[in-house]
């Protein structure tokens, strides 16, 4: 399970236990907004007419909203009237244009669940709204369901308290007028008080029976519950008075066909109405128990139904010492007493279920402390079985292929672990669970699924199973429980199993992190095409295969004209669907040897290996023709055009990035000229001239000391305390001014100057660190982190050279951290393994820079002697707005932790980003939130308290 899921469950448990009564709903709304990172949270009660609702609390963008009433028709809340959750992960304002309150909020996503009373009567709803689309809603809906259950119980409790208060007042008045019903009124008042104060169901039933005998004057009072077994027995739960072994000698049924079902207990449970027997000695149903009743002095009997909504689950039996009818008013008061007791029992069960839910949440949080996958699932299964009172429990992972099969990850039978085994799903309840998401069989499991070895060996009669889905809703496995006895409270078991299933599913998904991070990092989620990172890797490989003499590789840069108008007018949902269709058309017209990728937005690229001008032009015309017919989305048609820029390797560029840049230039020339395509030509090559000039001036700057170093602090995300710094090279040219590292570093790499530049940076940084030590001030903590280029890893003596530079400055390698890129690792993995191990042996700390923008095989990553990964700023920048970027950051942190590596986040620009990273487990970061890269003197003044010389 991811760290944010653990934190969510823990905070939910705390919130449920700390909420007060008077400010319960405002407190709940605020806590949910913080817990779910929601922009708006609404807790509302449905009015009696069923057509309008009024808010109990509304939290919006950090503040309270005044309570308001609103019509449910035409709003996303309307769906809750059908007792179903409503989720609109995106475009909710477009779905409900007539909802004025929704339009005023400007929400993008809506997640809402109904709020029920303990007797399953709809009371209202709880909804979370977001200003941004929501992709992964499973955990959010589970939290909302728990909150709605607790809120429903609280609202029902408040209404019950008011109702009980009104009843008490009415009873007091009636007592004064009707002395004949004084006894019933007194008993009802005391029972109401006992219901309100009850802590445990068994003690409440015992107290009710005791009050009935002491205050009501009954000879015997007992409570029986209806079992759904073959005999339909009525089983005593509590009693008081002159029982004298009576309940051990007799037994009752609620089966209409059984002679034992004709007595008042059975008739009352079947009908759901009170049954009064003036003289039980005259009733044929008591003929077989006549001696038992006469000996104990039982003459009359009143049976009062205990109901849960429309279902009668038991009866309160009052046996009198005298014969006689019961007046209508007394009978009505006793029926009201039974109704109040029924409601109190249900409210108490809901509260106890909430406490049990909290324990389950904490159990899952404790299970997360298990380090290995096997330990996690074993602990989770044990806690699941214990919490839900099962005789056996299993968690399984689905295998790919047909017929569908699964293998157990953990199993427990009678408290003992079961070795893992593989089983086919066909003909088993797990097959139904995979199809329906959840299956509950309360009794008769063996008859429903005969011949199952596990069921027969255990003697199991009940089954509860749930499918384990990933964030996208795809099945990963199953979790199921077996019971030797019929399942009575299946709703509670099902509810708690959903929580355990969410934890198991999250852990299963985490186990797929390597494939998951590669897919997220290398493929566009909308079109399924390779993304920029994947394409650049393929372009590098294709250029390496293309000979400089006689070979030719064509690159086409495609940009849709005026596509922004579709997004602005129709919304991004429609725009994304248009892009999917455009990608399909482009893919369908590719010639042999061509590949298509999406760079982002409405930009695509096509690479054609071994292509000449004529073949490339044919491809250009085919791509243009692909959009000759409008794109139809629903009932709308969009006429699209594309601008295409074309360049060839090696004719127009020396490397992949330059080639891509030239195609981009040619595309913009085509767009600006209003023509469909342009081929790169000499006029567009002015950038190449600048590049040559940069190479010459950079070499001169290296010779003349024209470069400088800046230092960007690396800090503790929680405290802001300095932990080290990254060394960044800067160049101010007398003619060109400031030249970006993004421009001159590639020039240094292409012109063979990067090794010399890297050694100069290391030597200068070491000299500066030594100077800071001599100057006093605060000691410099941690390490100076210096970038090492991919070409430097080609030097087998790199560790020796860098170590000599550091020691010449009077330092040890332990104060220096080296940052290497993923591309540098993977150019020659085996040599990289050897060099990194040599560097670590010499004392250097190593980190992977810009992690996630390339692809490092985990098999190699375990062998590289790195201790830290740096999360690229491109993922950190949008992680709070883009679910894909958030998923990538989460996966990188989890993967690094599993490999024993530290993480450093780059480009942290807001406190919200820092807090989100901390919640995910990343402790270190750098970015403009803390400070930008500073010259040495400015860095020393601000961070080391060293005054300028």
187-233 per-position pLDDT tens digit: 767 777 777 777 778 888 888 888 888 877 888 999 998 888 788 88
**Beta strand spans in 242-332 (E):** 252-253, 275-277, 300-308, 311-320
| The CATH fold of domain 518-680 | Alpha-Beta Plaits (3.30.70)
Cβ atoms 340, 188 nearer than 8 A: yes
State residue 899's pLDDT score: 84
What is the C-alpha to C-alpha distance for residues 664 and 165, in angstroms, rounded to an integer? 76
Which residues, 6 or more positions from 429, have their beta carbon under 8 angstroms from its beta carbon?
Answer: 439, 441, 445, 448, 449, 463, 465, 480
What is the C-alpha to C-alpha distance for residues 679 and 667, in angstroms, rounded to an integer? 8
Q: Please give the CATH number for the structural domain made up of 694-944.
A: 3.20.20.450
Tell me the two tokens of residue 945: 């308290």
Q: How far is CA 196 from the centre of its chain?
A: 37
622-657 per-position pLDDT tens digit: 999 999 999 999 888 999 999 999 999 998 888 899
State residue 556's pLDDT score: 96
Length of the chain: 949
Name the 3-class secondary structure at 222: strand
Alpha carbon of 739 to those of 576, 695, 732, 747, 754: distances in Å?
37, 12, 6, 12, 16
433: Cα within 13 Å, side-chain hemisphere: 30
State residue 702's pLDDT score: 92
Cβ atoms 924, 906 nearer than 8 A: no
Cβ atoms 140, 111 nearer than 8 A: yes
Which CATH class for the 370-511 domain? Answer: alpha beta
**Comparing C-alpha atoms, which of 883, 818, 896, 911 is closest to residue 852?**
896
Concatenated DSSP letters of 642-670 = EEEEEEEETTS-SSHHHHHHHHHHHHHHH
Strand bridging mode 816-821 / 783-788: parallel
Tell me the two tokens of residue 359: 């324990």
Alpha carbon of 467 to those of 6, 24, 625: distances in Å?
20, 34, 46
Tell me the two tokens of residue 545: 């295969």
**Comparing C-alpha atoms, which of 814, 804, 811 is closest to residue 841?**
814
Cβ neighbourhood burial of 447 (10 Å; 0-12, 13-18, 19+): exposed
Cβ atoms 390, 375 nearer than 8 A: no
Strand bridging mode 707-716 / 422-424: unpaired
What is the C-alpha to C-alpha distance for residues 922 and 520, in angstroms, rounded to an integer? 20
DSSP-derived letter for residue 215 is: T
**Comparing C-alpha atoms, which of 558, 571, 663 is closest to residue 602?**
558
Q: At CA 117, angle to CA 111 and CA 122, rounded to 5?
A: 55
Cβ atoms 32, 127 nearer than 8 A: no
Which residues, 6 or more positions from 350, have their beta carbon under 8 angstroms from its beta carbon?
Answer: 118, 149, 152, 153, 156
Q: Which ranges of the chain have pLDDT less than 70?
A: 1-21, 169-185, 188, 353-374, 402-403, 488, 512-516, 684-685, 687-689, 822-827, 852-862, 949
What is the C-alpha to C-alpha distance for residues 303 and 299, in angstroms, rounded to an integer? 14
What is the C-alpha to C-alpha distance for residues 135 and 295, in angstroms, rounded to an integer? 70
Q: How far is CA 731 from the centre of its chain?
A: 45
State residue 176's pLDDT score: 41
Q: Is the peptide bond before 512 cis (omega within 30 degrees of 0)?
A: no
What is the C-alpha to C-alpha distance for residues 834 and 828, in angstroms, rounded to an integer? 10
Q: Is the peptide bond before 482 cis (omega within 30 degrees of 0)?
A: no
Tell me the two tokens of residue 865: 């002697």
Strand bridging mode 405-413 / 122-130: unpaired
Strand bridging mode 924-926 / 902-906: parallel
Cβ atoms 478, 462 nearer than 8 A: no
Neighbours of 356 (CB within 10 A): 15
> Where are the chain's structural domains?
3-159, 192-351, 370-511, 518-680, 694-944
**Residue 2 φ/ψ, nearest 5 degrees:** -70, 155
What is the C-alpha to C-alpha distance for residues 591 and 749, in angstroms, rounded to an integer? 34
DSSP-derived letter for residue 464 is: E
Yes or no: is domain 3-159 CATH 3.30.450.40? Answer: yes
Tell me the two tokens of residue 854: 């390339």
Place of tokens 């449905």: 46
* 3-159 and 370-511 have identical folds: yes
Cβ neighbourhood burial of 270 (10 Å; 0-12, 13-18, 19+): middle
State residue 862's pLDDT score: 66
Strand partners, 464: 440, 481
CATH number for domain 192-351, candidates 3.30.450.40, 2.60.40.10, 3.40.50.1000, 3.30.70.3000 = 3.30.450.40
Tell me the two tokens of residue 160: 């019950």
Measured N-to-C along each axis, helices 686-704 and 754-775 cross at an angle, to the nearest 10 degrees, of: 40
DSSP-derived letter for residue 676 is: S
DSSP-derived letter for residue 321 is: S
Place of tokens 């074309």: 646
Which residues, 6 or more positions from 204, have their beta carbon under 8 angstroms from its beta carbon?
Answer: 194, 195, 198, 344, 345, 348
């Amino acid at each position: 399970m991811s760290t944010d899921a653990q934190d969510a469950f823990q905070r939910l448990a705390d919130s449920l236990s700390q909420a007060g009564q008077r400010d319960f709903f405002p407190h709940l709304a605020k806590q949910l907004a913080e817990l779910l990172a929601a922009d708006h949270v609404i807790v509302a009660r449905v009015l009696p007419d069923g057509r309008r609702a009024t808010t109990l609390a509304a939290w919006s963008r950090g503040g309270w909203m005044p309570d308001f009433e609103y019509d449910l028709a035409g709003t996303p809340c309307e769906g809750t009237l059908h007792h179903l959750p409503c989720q609109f992960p995106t475009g909710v304002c477009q779905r409900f244009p007539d909802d004025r309150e929704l339009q005023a909020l400007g929400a993008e996503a809506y997640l809402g669940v109904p709020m029920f009373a303990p007797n399953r009567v709809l009371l209202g709803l709880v909804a979370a709204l977001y200003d941004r689309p929501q992709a992964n809603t499973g955990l959010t809906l589970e939290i909302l369901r728990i909150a709605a259950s607790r809120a429903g119980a609280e609202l029902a409790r408040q209404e019950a308290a008011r109702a009980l208060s009104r009843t008490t007042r009415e009873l007091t008045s009636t007592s004064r007028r009707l002395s004949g019903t004084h006894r019933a009124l007194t008993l009802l008042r005391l029972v109401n008080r006992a219901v309100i104060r009850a802590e445990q169901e068994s003690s409440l039933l015992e107290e009710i029976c005791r009050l009935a005998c002491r205050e009501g004057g009954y000879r015997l009072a007992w409570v029986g519950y209806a079992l759904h077994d073959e005999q339909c027995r009525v089983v005593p739960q509590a009693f008081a008075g002159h029982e004298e072994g009576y309940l051990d000698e007799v037994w009752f049924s609620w089966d209409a066909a059984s002679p034992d079902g004709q007595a008042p207990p059975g008739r009352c449970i079947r009908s759901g109405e009170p049954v009064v027997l003036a003289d039980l000695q005259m009733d044929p149903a008591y003929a077989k128990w006549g001696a038992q009743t006469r000996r104990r002095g039982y003459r009359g009997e009143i049976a009062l139904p205990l109901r849960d909504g429309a279902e009668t689950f038991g009866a309160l039996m009052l046996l009198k010492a005298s014969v006689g009818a019961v007046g209508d008013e007394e009978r009505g008061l006793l029926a009201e007493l039974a109704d109040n007791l029924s409601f109190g029992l249900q409210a108490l069960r809901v509260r106890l279920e909430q406490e049990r839910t909290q324990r389950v949440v904490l159990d899952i949080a404790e299970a997360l402390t298990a380090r290995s996958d096997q330990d996690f699932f074993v602990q989770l299964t044990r806690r699941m079985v214990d919490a839900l009172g099962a005789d056996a429990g299993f968690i399984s992972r689905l295998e790919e292929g047909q017929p569908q099969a699964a293998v157990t990850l953990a199993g427990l039978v009678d408290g003992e672990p079961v070795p893992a085994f593989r089983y086919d799903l066909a003909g088993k309840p797990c097959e139904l669970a995979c199809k329906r998401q959840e299956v509950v069989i309360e009794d008769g499991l063996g008859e429903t699924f005969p011949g199952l070895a596990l069921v027969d060996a255990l003697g199991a009669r009940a089954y509860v199973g749930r499918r384990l889905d990933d964030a996208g809703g795809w099945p990963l496995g199953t979790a199921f429980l077996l019971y030797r006895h019929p399942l009575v409270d299946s709703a509670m078991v099902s509810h708690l199993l959903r929580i355990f299933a969410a934890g198991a599913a999250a852990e299963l998904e985490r186990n797929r992190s390597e494939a998951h991070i590669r897919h997220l990092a290398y493929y566009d989620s909308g079109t399924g095409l390779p993304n920029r990172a994947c394409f650049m890797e393929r372009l590098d490989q294709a250029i390496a295969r293309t000979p400089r003499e006689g070979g030719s590789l064509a690159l086409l840069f495609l940009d849709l004209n005026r596509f922004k108008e579709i997004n602005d007018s129709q919304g991004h949902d429609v725009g994304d669907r248009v892009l999917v269709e455009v990608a399909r058309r482009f893919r369908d017209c590719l010639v042999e040897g061509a590949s298509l990728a999406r760079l982002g937005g409405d930009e695509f690229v096509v690479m054609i290996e071994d292509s000449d001008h004529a073949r490339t032009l044919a491809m250009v015309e085919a791509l243009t023709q692909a959009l000759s017919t409008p794109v139809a989305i629903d009932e709308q048609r969009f006429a699209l055009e594309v601008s295409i820029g074309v360049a060839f390797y090696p004719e127009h560029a020396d490397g992949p990035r330059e080639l891509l840049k030239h195609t981009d230039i040619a595309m913009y020339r085509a767009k600006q000229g209003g023509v469909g395509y342009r081929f790169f030509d000499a006029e567009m090559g002015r950038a190449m001239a600048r590049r040559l000039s940069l190479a010459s001036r950079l070499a001169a700057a290296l010779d003349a000391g024209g470069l400088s170093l800046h230092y960007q602090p690396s800090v503790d995300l929680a405290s802001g305390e300095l932990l080290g710094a990254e060394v960044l090279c800067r160049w101010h040219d007398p003619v060109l001014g400031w030249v970006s590292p993004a421009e001159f570093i590639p020039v240094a790499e292409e012109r063979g100057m990067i090794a010399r530049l890297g050694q100069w940076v290391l030597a200068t940084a070491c000299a500066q660190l030594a100077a800071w030590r001599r100057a006093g001030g605060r000691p410099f903590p941690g390490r100076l982190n210096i970038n090492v280029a991919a070409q430097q890893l080609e030097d087998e003596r790199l560790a020796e050279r860098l170590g000599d530079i550091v020691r010449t400055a009077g330092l040890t390698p332990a104060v220096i951290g080296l940052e290497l890129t993923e591309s540098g690792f993977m150019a020659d993995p085996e040599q990289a393994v050897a060099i990194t191990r040599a560097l670590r042996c010499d004392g250097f700390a190593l980190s992977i820079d810009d992690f996630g923008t390339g692809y490092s095989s985990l098999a190699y990553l375990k062998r590289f002697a790195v201790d830290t990964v740096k999360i690229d700023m491109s993922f950190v920048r949008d992680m709070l707005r883009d679910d894909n970027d958030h998923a990538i950051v989460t996966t990188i942190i989890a993967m690094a932790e599993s490999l024993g590596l530290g993480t450093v986040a780059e480009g942290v620009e807001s406190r919200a980003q820092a807090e989100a990273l901390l919640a995910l487990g990343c402790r270190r970061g750098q970015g403009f939130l803390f400070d930008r890269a500073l010259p040495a003197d400015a860095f020393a003044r601000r961070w080391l308290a060293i005054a300028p010389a």
